[in-house]
Amino acid sequence: MPGNQDKQSLLMQGEILLQTRSHTAWGGSVTACMYLPLLRSQVWQQLTDYPRWVQYFPDITKSEVLSRGEVKRLYQVAQKAFFFFTAQVEIYLNVVEVLGQQIQFRMEKGTFLDFTAILELKDWGNGTLLAYNVQATPNIPIPAIFIQQAMNFELPANMRKMRQVLCKVQ
């Protein structure tokens, strides 16, 4: 892993830094970090517009707020094409926001054995450092190595798309 100075330089150049960990026999855990040349308040305002997540993550086909309050409830549907079939997953999430700093997603029910995600925002240079940690175990028995490889490949692409939409770069 590169040193702190190298990491900072890579982030400022637009790289998405990943750290993958194992998580259950069939699951994966990954943290992706990226730099956004936007104020944290601007990023927060856009990220908490949950129906807009269909623009950030191409596999998400629906993102709907079911209830608001101290704990929000979201319903999301995603579709993913694999070699010979297309899988559709749905998930009901409890969402807790720590104003301007963190969004916690916990699965209430859905087509996963478990799913949690934490999105953290920090002031960084003239912009914002966004860290997105996801832990998930699908309910179909796919070896963890394949889940982790998919996360390593797809999460950076999704994060780049998210940055493009957040920063309105076409």
- Low-confidence residues of the chain: pLDDT under 70: 1-3, 22-27, 81-86, 141-148, 169-170
Domain annotation covers residue 39:
yes
- CB-based burial of residue 25 (10 Å sphere; 0-12 exposed, 13-18 middle, 19+ buried)? exposed
What is the C-alpha to C-alpha distance for residues 6 and 138, in angstroms, rounded to an integer? Answer: 34
Range of the structural domain that residue 122 is part of: 4-49+98-166
Domain annotation covers residue 150:
yes
**Residues 102-123: tens digit of each pLDDT:** 999 999 999 888 899 999 999 9
Domain annotation covers residue 117:
yes
Q: Output the domain CATH number for residue 22.
A: 3.30.530.20
pLDDT score, position 20? 79
pLDDT score, position 152? 73
Domain annotation covers residue 112:
yes
The torsion angles phi and psi of 76, rounded to 5 degrees, stand at -130, 145
The torsion angles phi and psi of 126, rounded to 5 degrees, stand at -95, 15
pLDDT score, position 153? 76
Domain annotation covers residue 111:
yes
Number of domains in the chain: 1
Domain annotation covers residue 75:
no
Domain annotation covers residue 16:
yes
pLDDT score, position 23? 66
Domain annotation covers residue 140:
yes
- Over the chain, what is the mean pLDDT? 87
